[in-house]
Structure 1
Amino acid sequence: MPFDFSVPIQYHGLLSTVGFRDVVDILLVAVILYKSYEMLKDTRAITLAKGMFVMMGVALGAYILELHAIYWLLSKSIYLLFMALPIVFQPELRRALERIGQGKFLGSAVYLNAEEADTLVNEIDKVVFNMSAKKIGALIVLEREIGINEIIDTGIRVDGLVTAPFMMNVFIPNTPLHDGAAVIRGNRMIAAGCLLPLTENRGLSTELGTRHRAALGLSEQCDAVVVIVSEETGIVSIAENGHITRRLNSEQLKKRLRPLLIKADPTLKMKDIKNVFDTWRKNK
């Protein structure tokens, strides 16, 4: 059944007041809100943001119903929360400012192409499960959009193409680089023995040691992905956006890493838009 796109006559007057600048203004606000949501989703901040919106909705309801005491209390609480935003959302604000400074707030990340991503993921998979079988602890950081030069500066620069034997040598026990994290940018390891910030989340399981807490701490502050190999159990985990997924097998690790590293094809989105437009024209 074709859709009726005709505009009711009562809205003609309203639409006639909307100019080109108004449309651009609305679109820019929509893009900024969407990009802000993209940075907040899957982080602790999104839960806090939802709580604030609930409080604002309740305050609006109290104002409409003229519940003056509740409205006064909620309005003052919301004001104090807004004052505390720079502290509560410090990691997210830092990420946003870094993306704006790098010119990536509106742009897409520069990732690997499909072939490079497959090669990198396969090499990481080989070395990770080799170390898992031998219970060799490891932290492997994959840099994405947000640069982590401050983390790289805490380690030793090693510029080298990522291969399983090369990475295995880096994590040999009782060597200077073993206890730190290796940082991968693109398909090259650029530093090893790096120090990562520990998470401040006190609700973590006692099973998680320093490596897991360091991986979570970095993933809370930026969009890097961290692969962890437990020295005690050999369990393979991955930390991303302040969340940790444990007990991964080889296929699960590859499935998680590849979409995060591969360069998205922008023509796919254009094809999707074209298909929607063509379908609309046929039904018109």
Structure 2
Amino acid sequence: MSLQIIELFKGFRLMDLLDIAIVAYVSYKAIQLIRGTRAVQLIRGIIVFVVFTKLSEWLGLYTIHWLLKNAMTVGVIALLVVFQPELRRALEQLGRSRFFSSSLFGLGEEELSFLIDNLAQAAEELSKNKIGALIVLERETGLNEYIETGIKIEGYLTAELLINIFIPNTPLHDGAVIVRNDKVMAAGCYLPLTENPNLSKELGTRHRAALGVTEQSDAVAIIVSEETGVISVAREGKLSRYLDVKTLKNVLKEVYQIGDKKTNFLHWRRLNG
């Protein structure tokens, strides 16, 4: 037995190990990508479909096997349509990799610090007064398709401007504000809602929209609950809730890549752990 194992590993090359590692990594990332989405249920259905196809072949049910086999051929095209959101997310994440990326923002560190302070100040004031708000920070993935659904502003971001936008019973109160660099591009924007079936029912439309836009892009969303005043942040389809102003600033520093990146990264992981 031991000789057979030795013979087996004699032909094993370093490139084979690399090949296995790459396949394992890609598989792991694919599972991460579809976890918590409708793709999980679809994959289960595909597995059942394949099992029935093989069973019909083994049992000699030729008509059923022929139908299932031909349906599987057509199903490949159908899967491309059904999995379009997941495929889009995968390709966008590939395009956002550091290999293709240049500088994320065209702002200096002082300008970014001013931006973060104003975002945190606005969130704190809105939270104290229990004024609902949804602020989306554009990163590398363009959000023009959502900006066009709202009212264009294109004004420099300040805490006062954000607070004024979200005052209840005003024209721009509903919908999201989209921020590009240090400018408020538009307000009253419509965002896609998350398709995550495992999301808590206590989360309202703002939280679902925040998760939806962060699932489909690399944007980061700040949410203030109208009912509780709780500050939350959505990123990569994940939600961190019950943030205080200091924690929010730390998260934003990590987003804008300011300060100690290692500390900020560990802090974000702790929030989502």
Q: Shorter-chain TM-score category? A: 0.5 to 0.7
Alignment partners' CA distance in 1, 2:120 and 2:27: 33
Q: How big is the alpha-carbon RMSD for the aligned residues of Structure 1 and Structure 2?
A: 4.4
What's the offset of the Cα at 1:236?
Answer: 0.6
Aligned to 2:173: 178
**Unpaired runs of at least 5, structure 2:** 1-9, 48-56, 59-68, 263-273
- Whether 2:87 is the aligned partner of 1:93: answer yes
Alignment partners' CA distance in 1, 2:100 and 2:201: 40
Aligned to 1:223: 218
| 1:59-108 Cα deviation digits (max 9, x unpaired) | xxxxxxxxx97xxxxxx9x99996665356423422455577xx755312
2:157 to 146, 159, 162: 162
Q: Call closer, same or farther: CA 1:250–1:34 in 2, change over 3 Å.
A: same
Q: Contact 1:42/1:241 (CA < 8 Å) preserved in 2?
A: no
Alignment partners' CA distance in 1, 2:215 and 2:231: 19
**Partner AA of 1:150 in structure 2:** E
Q: Contact 2:89/2:215 (CA < 8 Å) preserved in 1?
A: no
1:111 to 98, 104, 112: 104
Alignment partners' CA distance in 2, 1:84 and 1:240: 30
Q: Find the residue that maps to 2:242 and give its secondary structure.
A: coil
**Unpaired runs of at least 5, structure 1:** 1-9, 19-25, 57-67, 70-75, 269-284
Aligned to 1:197: 192
What's the offset of the Cα at 1:120?
Answer: 1.4
Alignment partners' CA distance in 2, 1:35 and 1:222: 20
Aligned to 2:235: 240
Alignment partners' CA distance in 2, 1:81 and 1:45: 22
Alignment of 1:34-113 (within 5 A): 43-45=33-35, 85-87=79-81, 89-97=83-91, 104=96, 106-108=99-101, 110-112=103-105, 113=108
Ranked by relative contact order (alpha carbons within 8 Å, sequence separation 6 or more), the top structure is: 1
Alignment partners' CA distance in 1, 2:93 and 2:117: 29
Q: Call closer, same or farther: CA 1:124–1:41 in 2, change over 3 Å.
A: farther
Q: Contact 1:127/1:164 (CA < 8 Å) preserved in 2?
A: yes
Q: Call closer, same or farther: CA 1:156–1:37 in 2, change over 3 Å.
A: farther
Alignment partners' CA distance in 2, 1:118 and 1:196: 27
Q: Call closer, same or farther: CA 1:225–1:33 in 2, change over 3 Å.
A: farther
**Partner AA of 1:166 in structure 2:** L
Q: Contact 2:133/2:223 (CA < 8 Å) preserved in 1?
A: yes
Q: Contact 1:91/1:222 (CA < 8 Å) preserved in 2?
A: no
Q: Contact 2:135/2:176 (CA < 8 Å) preserved in 1?
A: yes
Q: Call closer, same or farther: CA 1:83–1:167 in 2, change over 3 Å.
A: same
Identity of aligned residues (%): 47
**Partner AA of 1:203 in structure 2:** N
| 1:237-270 Cα deviation digits (max 9, x unpaired) | 11111111111111211122211122799xx9xx
What's the offset of the Cα at 1:45?
Answer: 4.8
Q: Contact 1:132/1:230 (CA < 8 Å) preserved in 2?
A: yes
Residues matched between the structures, number: 234
Q: Contact 1:109/1:144 (CA < 8 Å) preserved in 2?
A: no
- Whether 2:117 is the aligned partner of 1:122: answer yes
Q: Contact 1:136/1:234 (CA < 8 Å) preserved in 2?
A: yes
TM-score by length of 2: 0.66
Alignment partners' CA distance in 2, 1:169 and 1:161: 14
Alignment partners' CA distance in 1, 2:196 and 2:220: 18
Q: Contact 2:122/2:159 (CA < 8 Å) preserved in 1?
A: yes
Alignment partners' CA distance in 1, 2:128 and 2:182: 24
Alignment partners' CA distance in 1, 2:168 and 2:141: 30
Q: Find the residue that maps to 1:167 and give its secondary structure.
A: helix
Q: Find the residue that maps to 1:203 and give its secondary structure.
A: coil
